[in-house]
Structure 1
């Protein structure tokens, strides 16, 4: 015997679909679909030019932007289609008094809510540099060999996150610790909006666990710092006098296969006025390594300039709070299992999944938290 559909259930689903429709319309307005379609057409025209690959760096930038715009448009159009289909299915379920179709609508509403929430995050990335690619640096902090091991765990976590999303990630430099792990590493995530997305990951990360390096099995707390800066573009005004630089070349160290360790191709650049040191050893050519290291240095100097400007604005506003990124997340493996963001209060009881790159929920919570802070500050 068929159970009659309750008017309340069908009406509730209709209200939920209407709410999702309004949210998606707002997203479409903020993201400006007409402009995205125009950008797509322009990028396709540039990508079709015969001499595109004469400049490989520019070609990669063009194709990356085109892939991103195409993906975003497809994502929005698919969601719009699914939302319309759910409305049709709801009407069908009501007209035919079909509980199974109504249940299907309920399941689709749950999936659409999650997908539209994720898309809404993109509308919150409206900062000056948010649309850029990201340069991420990880440094081990207090905690000895455990901290170095933790820094390597974080490096793998972010590279796995990039891999899960299909984003290109290039490790420019890795300084290996003596016993285990790394002292530091710098890598680039080459995807539009990588900076806006990952910028909420900057700050101090803390690990609590039974140390695998302590023969007495004691609990150890260790720290690692994550820094995220936007990749510099040609339009940025970053001039560096040659006299401000000290350039050292050396032989690449650590795992790297044959070839990479046979010549003095690695480059270390020190910016004398600030003391900032950057290195690159992932290319075989010294010239390539120097060009990459200069790009990293410019990105760090741009970030420093922005921080100084922000500090002036904070002083004018009377904001004396410390950096929001400090002490931002704890990873606890003993005596219980939990990863908790200390800013957003978001937490999970599955550290293994987090270290395997499942950090989207933390990132999304961080972006929403940051946006709320910005609104409150103004």
Structure 2
């Protein structure tokens, strides 16, 4: 999709287009603060070079992922700046030699740069208190019976494919399979900097309309699944959880169709009784590991619950109603026509198969802009 601030660039002549893109890139560079990023890179490189760091593998992975993210960001900004500078020279060369092939090459590069600058601009909008965090994504089947369970599994695949397209590691913590097909629920983490800020607009109810593959009369079926996105907690986070308010159940892990994948009761389900929040983990080999992971997920969900309650209080003081933005989210229609459309942003695509295969960046970007403009940040 086109980025609103760059929409009018297509109507300018090449020199003005380059000037406009250069101005937009300059504002991005100011927000990114390349000097500060470079200083942090040097500090992280020193930490990464210390052999003692690897005594704590989790901390080491955090340092290396953060370092890789910062190096990628600085490199990307610098590369785009150089490409813009080179583009001016390319247009001058095309004009001096009256070469249509070189002019066509320059036009193609200009269009690519317009997209790249727009994508970079989107990332500068991720400035919320937890936006830099990894994301814990939970999906639950809702109304629609077996179709809803199948739909929940389709959504899981969509997000995992999206992460794979971007090279983001993922780890599935829990999947509860439905009896006939699909899943009742699943939770997985996207291990990438800014994963939460990028995906948090996906929170809400996703609606699917299609000819049911489970109906022998080929009737149209509407089914629903809920997507919840919370930031992964860090050691510095503080959320009080009274253990007396927790119910901890252990059970045997199972795969599709009830097939046992574990001969011991190692899976763990934790219920926070005052709120009804439930987390489960079954991917680790031991009950102790599963309990620790499920407890971390509980902290993440309760921390996000607290953040949303605080945001709701602020919105109420402002006289706003944005606290309910996550309820109605996106419609996926596969019959009688093909369309995927966001309820909030109006972003739309007719390439339903591509979307279900993880091509959701245009929707994600539109949600980032929508949330930014509706949470007090305004349009950057």
TM tier relative to shorter chain: over 0.9
Residue in 1 that maps onto 2:86: 85
- TM norm structure 1: 0.94
Contact conserved, 2:151 with 2:223, CA < 8 A, in 1? Answer: yes
How far apart, CA to CA, are the structure 1 residues paired with 2:257 and 2:215? 29
**Structure 2 unaligned spans of 5+:** 1-9
- Measured after TM superposition, the shift of residue 336 of structure 1 is 0.6
**What do residues 74-107 of structure 1 show as CA deviations (whole Å, max 9, x unaligned)?**
2111111111110111122222232322222111
Contact conserved, 2:340 with 2:348, CA < 8 A, in 1? Answer: yes
- Measured after TM superposition, the shift of residue 259 of structure 1 is 8.9
Figure out how many residues of one structure are paired with residues of the other and give that number: 369
Q: What is the DSSP-based 3-state SS (H/G/I as helix, E as strand, rest coil) of the residue aligned with 1:267?
A: strand
Residue in 2 that maps onto 1:333: 334
How far apart, CA to CA, are the structure 2 residues paired with 1:199 and 1:175? 23
How far apart, CA to CA, are the structure 1 residues paired with 2:308 and 2:135? 17
- TM norm structure 2: 0.93
Q: What is the DSSP-based 3-state SS (H/G/I as helix, E as strand, rest coil) of the residue aligned with 1:328?
A: strand
How far apart, CA to CA, are the structure 1 residues paired with 2:322 and 2:293? 35
Q: What is the DSSP-based 3-state SS (H/G/I as helix, E as strand, rest coil) of the residue aligned with 2:22?
A: helix
**What do residues 218-256 of structure 1 show as CA deviations (whole Å, max 9, x unaligned)?**
000000000000111111111212212221111101159
Residue in 2 that maps onto 1:267: 268
1:180-219 equivalent positions in 2, closer than 5 A: 180-219=181-220
How far apart, CA to CA, are the structure 2 residues paired with 1:119 and 1:266? 41
**Structure 1 unaligned spans of 5+:** 1-8
Q: Compute the RMSD of aligned alpha carbons.
A: 1.9
Residue in 1 that maps onto 2:110: 109
Residue in 1 that maps onto 2:138: 137
- Measured after TM superposition, the shift of residue 121 of structure 1 is 0.6
How far apart, CA to CA, are the structure 2 residues paired with 1:248 and 1:346? 42
How far apart, CA to CA, are the structure 2 residues paired with 1:65 and 1:376? 25
Structure 1 residues 230-239 or 316-325, which shifts more? 316-325
- Measured after TM superposition, the shift of residue 14 of structure 1 is 0.6
CA gap 1:341/1:215 in 2 versus in 1, 3 angstroms: same
Contact conserved, 1:260 with 1:284, CA < 8 A, in 2? Answer: no
- Measured after TM superposition, the shift of residue 276 of structure 1 is 1.1
- Measured after TM superposition, the shift of residue 25 of structure 1 is 1.0
Residue in 2 that maps onto 1:4: none
- Alignment of 1:100 with 2:101, yes or no, is yes
How far apart, CA to CA, are the structure 1 residues paired with 2:257 and 2:71? 36
How far apart, CA to CA, are the structure 2 residues paired with 1:275 and 1:325? 19
How far apart, CA to CA, are the structure 2 residues paired with 1:215 and 1:254? 27
Contact conserved, 1:136 with 1:229, CA < 8 A, in 2? Answer: yes
